[in-house]
Structure 1
């Protein structure tokens, strides 16, 4: 009986450079040939198929890509090795320092323990999905061994699990970090495709926040009246500026005569440079906004106060150029501003909220007053109007419900017209046109 090896077509002579194709002892077909590798070198690759045609097609595809100048993927190392390389040589040049710090913590806590030992070239969509499912359902105290280092165990070491699982937002963030790293591996032609993109996570619900109501906002402004940073809190609540944008404002950015402010930078603390001025969060965040009349008045008063503080400080004054400073002229730390904010909340007997909720309060109150979404997007400096629509979807839904209720009341209780002496079936009198 003739075997596949005895068939003349299986030993057909191929041209030089086309590679070889033959059938293995296990019945599969193997094709091998030389293709372009990183570093402008040649590498012999092998592909397999159930038929001769399938194996030959795979080899032809690789040779064609090689002829176009695309080197064959060469990811022979582990996922851990590549993530370390990506953080230290790629991401560090494209991310802000604080963002890079968060990426590094995410890789150290979640990616390396879960996927670090796998080969980058052999990482599959199933591997990523299985790892994310496990990360979603396991207690972090147990997985990271947090309970064993406590003085008094409270979780698994004590025989009971606290069930401290990752939130959907954190899980989505971990997934996005992996996607970013693998996307760069695709660009560097280390792997043919980004397998993390094939894993669907769903859209997590935005973080819940409790903005101030109109009555609470008035109480907060009343409590801030007379505070040395009253102008800052006025700006935060009336314009929705971020904390770093407020602290990064310089006097040269303000046009009090024209009633505008230019947002050009943000003031943040980093591990290497300390308190430093950085570019705005996104390109859309660099914007010019209109100043309310109340803010212009409070800024004028703040400038007079700062002039008196400069005279009192004398040679100890630090001329930083910032609008909001300490009494000696040095920039204000974000943590210091938070302490002042919490003090004002207690003075006004208001519930505990974050400073960033002043931004949410401004947007919510504007929406409730009927301001267009695109105007709020420009004021807040969002990159896309979809961000504004997503974050404040609950507010828009409430406004829609109020509008629907008004329509329902109108349809349920029609207003009866009041009869007038001149009401009749005759058409109304029309004035003669003036020629």
Structure 2
């Protein structure tokens, strides 16, 4: 029997009892445990499974993260639980994590509770990242001695293979944006559609209220969002980050559209009387009931199909706006502020996506390298 420290819950002294075949083995183990306890590196045995620890870890994270973020964490970690959840945390090995990763890349996509098709590299990567984060916390809590997933990563070959087969959806180019804007001018929600093309997130468009709009000074305040969990439950909350809360000036066409939309809603309210829902949101149906983000997406996709435009996500429309602003020389710090990012690196990495036509000016500039050196001297 060896003293292994104080139980953090009961505050009582904890003792570990082990049996060995020989006295020599028992003394050696006693010395090892005692030495590690004095060094602060001893990890007491426990029967916690991976699933049990993930539940505890998510409960801790819920104190710091938004409800929608925790929901996404749960969905992401559900991909791990089926293969690894039953294993005791202290018995989980790097080989277990690697086996799960390779299985997921081949069969991890579940349909009707049955696996069979490959799960995307990005999805597996996200699940692996959350697992690593949870295991890091387990190390800190001294439930395990090391993070067995720390050095597990998606093989480069798998990433290359997916890039070959997965077609990347490019944001709209300038001509496509103009076609959309011209094609939806007569739509009732023309003003909110322009807000999307200004670069607002879909949840920001759905969460924008008339109290957030200053028509006299042509500004809007982004401070509220309306999103959904699993396309089922509407969640209203503040912005995605502190940087997401921002004031933006309204371009003249958007200001005019908002004024017209407000006047239209006043007429709709008069027509319906007490049946009209006074929600306060900008993006509402004729009855005053606010759009959900799911309804907005479906409506926009129908418009894209009607106009014969490529179907892109609303976030890709946001990228089209930010790419256009970047190409027109808008400074980085202004661009990040407009997008609602604290770091322009985020804006550039995920939202600035120049196409071949955007690069045309660079090709023209390159032409200077092709000039005859004697002619270049004469010009100078």
TM-score surpassing 0.5? yes
Does residue 1:229 correspond to 2:189, yes or no?
yes
Stretch deviating more after TM superposition (391-400 or 298-307): 391-400
Partner of 2:124: 171
User: CA distance change for structure 1 residues 279 and 375 in 2, over 3 Å: closer, same or farther?
Assistant: same
Matched, 1:316 2:285: no
Alignment of 1:190 with 2:149, yes or no, is no
Per-residue deviation, residues 120-166 of structure 1 (Å, max 9, x unmatched): 1232334323321332234646996357xxxxxxxxxxxxxxxx211
- With over 3 angstroms needed to count, the CA separation of the structure-2 counterparts of 1:347 and 1:139, relative to structure 1, is closer
Q: After TM superposition, list the pairs within 5 Å mapping 1:398-409 onto structure 2.
A: 402-403=361-362, 405-409=363-367
Q: Which residue of 2 aligns with 1:104?
A: 74
Return the alpha-carbon distance in structure 2 between the equivalents of residues 321 and 197 of structure 1.
Answer: 48
Distance 1:276 1:136 in 2: 32
Indicate the residue corresponding to 2:83 in structure 1.
114
Work out whether 1:90 is the aligned partner of 2:46: no
Q: CA contact under 8 A between 1:284 and 1:381: conserved in structure 2?
A: yes
What do the CA deviations read for 1:197-241 (whole angstroms, capped 9, x no partner)?
A: 33234797899332111111111111111211111111111x210
Structure 1 residues 140-155: aligned runs within 5 Å: 140=109, 145-146=114-115
- Give 5+ residue unaligned stretches, structure 1: 1-19, 21-31, 148-163, 421-435
C-alpha spacing 1:401/1:217, structure 2 compared with 1 (3 Å):
closer
Match in the other structure for 1:62: 37
Identify the structure with bigger relative contact order (alpha carbons < 8 Å, sequence gap 6+). Answer: 2
Cα distance in structure 2, aligned partners of 1:295 and 1:142: 43
**Equivalent position to 1:81, from 33, 52, 57:** 52
Please give the alpha-carbon distance, in whole angstroms, between the structure 2 residues aligned to 1:60 and 1:185.
22
* Distance change >3 Å, CA 73–CA 227, structure 1 → 2: farther
Q: C-alpha displacement at 1:112, in angstroms?
A: 1.9
Distance 1:198 1:57 in 2: 27
Structural mapping, 1:11-410, within 5 Å? 32-39=2-9, 40-44=11-15, 59-65=34-40, 72-73=43-44, 75-87=46-58, 89-108=59-78, 110-138=79-107, 140=109, 145-146=114-115, 164-201=117-154, 208-237=168-197, 239-270=198-229, 274-392=233-351, 394-395=353-354, 402-403=361-362, 405-410=363-368
CA RMSD of aligned residues (A): 3.8
Report deviation, 1:400.
6.8
The structure number with the bigger radius of gyration is: 1
Q: Which runs of 5+ in 2 are unaligned?
A: 19-24
Select the residue among 404, 411, 427 that pairs with 2:369.
411
Tell whether the 8 Å contact from 1:377 to 1:388 is kept in structure 2 after alignment.
yes
1:248-293 residue CA offsets vs partner (Å, 9 max, x unmatched): 1111111222222111111123479943421222222122222212
Task: Kindly tell me the number of residue pairs found equivalent between the two proteins.
Answer: 366
CA contact (8 A) 1:35 1:45 kept: no
State the TM-score, normalized to the length of structure 1: 0.72
